[in-house]
Amino acid sequence: MITTDPVPGSPCWLDLGAPDVEAAAAFYGAVFGWQASPFGDGDAGSYSVFRLDGKVVGAVGPLTDEGDRSAWTIYFHTPDADATVKAVQKAGGAVRVPPTPVGANDGRFAQLTDPQGARFAVWQPGDLGGVEETDGPGSLGWIELYTSDSPAAQTFYKGIFGWTTQDMPLPGGGGAYTLVTPANCGEERMHGGIMGVPEMFGSGGKPYWHPVFGSADCDATVAQVKENGGALSMGPETAEGVGRLAVCTDPSGAEFVVLTPEQG
C-alpha cells in the first residue's frame, strides 16, 4: 500500500499536466470531491494543489512543453535528487528537468524519463514531505507502469531505487504482472505493478505510469467520469483478489484507474 510516510523509492507525490488547469480542477472536483487551490502565491490557472477533506492528495499544473499530452506524473521519494539523477543517466535514462528547488525549503524535484520512454519524477523532501492522504476513496492507492519491455524496465528501476519484484501470472497465459515493493520493506509496503504490453506501443506511443485512485463505489465514480466529459477505456470489471476497477481518461486524455478494493 502507498502511505503518507514514504521511504526511498516509494511514491510520494503526483501531479497532472493539463492544457486547462481550471477545467481539470472542475472535472476532478466533480469525480472525487477534490478542492483545488493555488500553490504558494500562484493564481487559479497556475500550479494548484488538490485537497480532499483538507488533506493534500495531488496537484495540477499547466503543460510546459509544446506538443506534450495531458498525463499524470508519479514522483518517487529520494533522499538525494542529484545522486538519483546521476544514476538515471548512467542507466540510460534521460533528464527532462534537473534537480530544482521548490519554495524556500519545500524540497527539490527532478523530472526524468526511463530508457523505454516512460516519464516519472523524484522528490527530495524538505518541509513538504508529500501527499497527506493515501490508500482510501479519492486518494492514491497504487501505481502502474505499462511498458514495451518489462524485464528492461524492472532492471532500470531496481538499479535506481532498489525495488524488489514479484511476478504474478496473468490469467489465460497472458504473461505476468510484476508487483513492486520498496527496498528493505515487507509486502505491506507494496506500491505498484509493471506490465509489459509491447503491442500498445507499436505505432509510436510511449510507455507510461498511471495512478490508481480508490473509490467507495467504482461504478458510481465511472458514471461521474462520463457525466463530466471523461471517457471509459476498460471496465468496470471485477478482478478476483483485487476488486472492481475501471480504466478512465479525463476530458484532456490523461489516464487513471478507479478501484474499489475487494473486501478481505
127-147, pLDDT tens digit by residue?
Answer: 999 999 999 999 999 999 999
Fold: same for 11-125 and 140-261: yes
Cell numbers describing residue 6: 514514504
Amino acid at 264: G
Q: Strand 176-181 to strand 164-169: parallel, antiparallel, or no bridges (unpaired)?
A: antiparallel
pTM: predicted TM-score of the whole model, two decimal places: 0.96
Using 50, 70 and 90 to split pLDDT, how confident is the model at 40? confident
Domain boundaries, the chain: 11-125, 140-261
Average pLDDT over residues 15-30: 97
Q: What's CA 131's distance to the chain center, in Å?
A: 12
Q: Quick one: 140-261 is in which CATH superfamily?
A: 2,3-Dihydroxybiphenyl 1,2-Dioxygenase, domain 1 (3.10.180.10)
Give me the CATH topology for the region 11-125.
2,3-Dihydroxybiphenyl 1,2-Dioxygenase; domain 1 (3.10.180)
**Separation in Å, CA 97 to CA 17, 34, 100, 112, 250:** 14, 28, 8, 7, 25
141-168, pLDDT tens digit by residue?
Answer: 999 999 999 999 999 999 999 999 999 9
Extended beta strands in the chain, E state: 11-18, 35-38, 48-52, 55-62, 71-77, 94-102, 107-113, 119-125, 140-147, 164-169, 176-181, 192-196, 208-214, 231-239, 243-249, 255-261
